[in-house]
Structure 1
Amino acid sequence: MDETVIGKLTSIARRTPKFDFFAKPLSSFPTTNVLYLSPVPVTPIEKLTEKLYNSFPHFSDKKFGFPIYHMTIAFGQKIEENRRIIEEYFAKFGKTPLVLKAGKIGIYIKKGNDWSEYISFDLG
């Protein structure tokens, strides 16, 4: 990541206001055992994604069609573990959507089995 990329991301973040959204529980991609939350409305996320694709067109791969906007909470677990995660989620958060605020663009890196924030850019 060089200064040009950082400059573009900083500019996009500054031009994008923070926005509220809901995270609807829980959906899954059953073939990969992914559990996720669905953001609603997706319009502000679509607008931000469009800005990013316009600035970094080599990361836009149209052959895969439209993105499925989601927030992964579990990936590749066995069915029994997914059931436990679902029960724990509903016990903690209930079945109503979570009210959230998008406040930054974050880039994450994976080291071993752990993900951590590499750099972020505040919106607004």
Structure 2
Amino acid sequence: MTEAALSRADLPMYLNRLELHFDSSTSLVASDAVSVHDPHAVLTALCRHPELDYCEDLEGSLAAAELIVVATEWPHFRETDPKALAPLVTDQVLVDLRNLIDADAWRMAGWTVRQLGRPAQE
């Protein structure tokens, strides 16, 4: 099944969690948590967004995650094994804003993948 591509105009919808799971009844509330992992930029991010939770490792940032957003191009993320991450998350949903990951490999591992500017596939 092919759907419309994720475009820059769609980003606020995704990043505000108004329809992250394609359900308009979902919204970001005070109890929602955002965990961040970046192997090189945590100090900068922490200064700009101290309200977020920062994790030393990727696995720690994914504990019970409902959604993963890849927003940087570090090889660390490209080389990640989607099968190894699956047991760590609540929902296997990934939004790749950098078109970094091999979407087919992630889909074969059972993930729903959306990539910026590319058609959605199931």
- TM-score bracket for this pair, using the shorter chain length: under 0.3
Q: Which has more strand, going by share of residues?
A: 1
TM-score, normalised via structure 2 length: 0.24
Q: Which has more helix, going by share of residues?
A: 1
TM-score, normalised via structure 1 length: 0.24
Higher relative contact order (CA 8 A, sep 6+): 1
